[in-house]
Structure 1
Amino acid sequence: MEPSQDRRVSTFPRTNVGQKPSTKRAFETSNIRDPNVGHGKLRKSAAKDTESVQRKEADPWQQYQRLYKLNLAGQGFVIHRKDSTFSEYFSKEVKVNRKEWLSRITQVSHKNIVILHESLYHDGNIYFIYELMDVYLSQIFSTPFGRLKAYEVASWCHEVLEGIEYIHQTLGFAHGDVNSENVLLTMSGSIKIANIGICMLQNIGQDRAQNDIRSVGRMVIECLEPSTFYRKGESLTLGPWDPTLSKFVEHTKSWSIYDILQHDFLKLSPGPNCLKPYIRLARDTMVGTVEVGEAIA
């Protein structure tokens, strides 16, 4: 590993970078492979509790109440259970036509993956019931607080990379769509990769694994140099930046998940709690992500 740089030069001035427009991402199933085809070669160790996942054929609206639409890593519904708990979740649906697709869904348990509580097949669709998160990563890139400092960038990079490591090494596939709208955060400071259910159905192989890691570098560029990101630039160019930060972005293009997690830049991270002020402000000021209509039975 390269020598660590002076941490004092890694605090950036907070300057406004502008609001990134929110987009609604639709699930696509055109590249989903047959459920009888096995996973790629990424798998290192099988999850021990794969048989305990809640998956069944059932009408989700017999046990859940839809409340309103929300764009969190794609469109879905905020829902609650029809029981005395009124527990809230977030539901997304994918059209699959055959209930055999449920066999692809396995137990997921990692602090950096959005919890998938239940998968239900009904009338040609699989309904994924996820934990309810608060904001997506790109929303904290453009709060009135301004640009994130280096240690704050390192904090979310480290959490996202640990989630990617779990997907690659334990679940055995690539995510294939790691971006700033598919990384979700909670008011408690949790940082998690979304849409793991659709990833299980798509079963993306090892040829896309490096792209997951490279996507973290792209998100750093989006965070710190949005104009470079929108020009599809692959490197930080508008510095001056801490050389350790610039090298981290470059190394996401080729380093393995194991090596990148040992990178000196990530040693700046004090943990995800440092992002709580950004998360709260993003949550309190977010607009355009909620769609409230007539009550849905």
Structure 2
Amino acid sequence: MGELYEHRKTYLPPDLGHFDSPSSRKVPIQPAATIEDSARELQPAGLDNKAFGYATLRPQRVPYQKIWRTTQAGPAIVAVKDVEPLPIVLMKTEKRTANLNLTNLRKASDPHILQLLDFFWDWDNVTLVYEYEHSAASLARLLNAGVRFSEVDIATICHGVLEGLLYIHSVLGIIHGSLKCENVLLTMTGQVKIANIGKAILEGESAKKYQTDIEEVGNIVKELRGPAPRFRGDESLVVKFINKTTTSTATVSGLLKDDFILSAASPWTLKRLIVQILPFGGKFDKYKETQPVKID
């Protein structure tokens, strides 16, 4: 694209407007949902300033243009960064509290997490800027839509989650601390990505508490498996794996070598799961967590 012409100060078209402008003419791209669902779930954020409070962006320092609001592992805003080549990002806001350590913040990048690209804050809020995965769905949304998971599907998903945890524990030196179906995304290419890593970095829980995350992996397996018949003394690979996640000696690297995880398929095989919910758009975003079924 080259350098901007002298009379231009932005790469964005002049009629795009600004998220906080009452005269904004932005219209969100319609998802694969009914018009009624689209109007309810993806209203142009510029029409509802109160939903997000006053603008916390400083345009001269943080060149992001907010476009519309959405839900992807929690409330978020889709935005465009006003630099070449106009990357689309996902912005989330955390209330600034005493237990959040801003000095911990740093960018995080791994194929199995939703990458943290940028961050900034004011007196009240911390804004986290993530990569944007269009049409990615949380495991919670798939469960609510009635999608069924085979044991190979579950092993494939867990392989991606464990790879993400390996990066979080070993490289970032923290735990995620909130690993559940709402925070694990499945992308349109079948990739599994752990979401909301920025909040985990802010909270900065030591990786020494990694057992918390490992137990949550077992809980995710239980959720995805559903109310399948379970018998005392069941020696199936999936039950053995779940039981291992509850032991104090379990490690992420060790679980990656487990026979159940080794039965995983290629990520592209998960595409058929996400295409099942495309006609519903954001209808199943809200998810009420159920209690895991106890295995004897």
In the superposition, the TM-score normalised over structure 1's length comes to 0.67
Partner residue, 1:139:
141
- Match of 1:78, SS? strand
Q: RMSD in angstroms over aligned alpha carbons?
A: 3.0
Q: CA deviation at 1:213?
A: 0.8
Q: CA deviation at 1:60?
A: 6.0
CA contact (8 A) 1:60 1:127 kept: no
Structure 1 gap ranges (5+):
1-56, 229-235, 291-297
Seen in structure 2, the aligned counterparts of structure 1 residues 216 and 97 have a Cα distance that, compared at 3 Å, is closer
Give the ranges of 4+ consecutive aligned residues of structure 1 lying more than 4 Å apart after TM superposition.
238-242
What percentage of residue pairs aligned between the two structures are identical?
28
Which of 272, 277, 282 pairs up with 2:267? 272
Q: Output the CA distance in 2 between the equivalents of 1:205 and 1:262.
A: 24
Q: Output the CA distance in 2 between the equivalents of 1:211 and 1:175.
A: 9
Q: Output the CA distance in 2 between the equivalents of 1:284 and 1:132.
A: 20
- Match of 2:182, SS? coil
1:85-100 map, 5 Å: 85-96=85-96
Q: Output the CA distance in 2 between the equivalents of 1:246 and 1:261.
A: 15
Partner residue, 1:284:
279
Are 1:59 and 2:58 matched, yes or no? yes
**For the pair shown, which has the larger CA radius of gyration, 1 or 2?**
2
The AA in structure 1 aligned to 2:109 is S
Are 1:173 and 2:174 matched, yes or no? yes
Structure 2 gap ranges (5+):
1-55, 286-296
The AA in structure 2 aligned to 1:286 is G
Q: Output the CA distance in 2 between the equivalents of 1:102 and 1:237.
A: 46
Q: CA deviation at 1:97?
A: 6.7
Seen in structure 2, the aligned counterparts of structure 1 residues 268 and 106 have a Cα distance that, compared at 3 Å, is same
Deviations 1:91-142 (A, max 9, x none): 01122279x9442112322111111111112343221110113111222335
Which of 236, 244, 258 pairs up with 1:251? 244
Q: CA deviation at 1:164?
A: 0.8
CA contact (8 A) 1:89 1:129 kept: yes
The AA in structure 1 aligned to 2:138 is Y
Larger RCO (CA under 8 A, 6+ residues apart): 1
Seen in structure 2, the aligned counterparts of structure 1 residues 206 and 115 have a Cα distance that, compared at 3 Å, is closer
- Match of 1:108, SS? coil
1:190-209 map, 5 Å: 190-206=191-207, 208-209=209-210
CA contact (8 A) 2:101 2:204 kept: no
CA contact (8 A) 2:111 2:193 kept: yes
- Match of 1:214, SS? helix
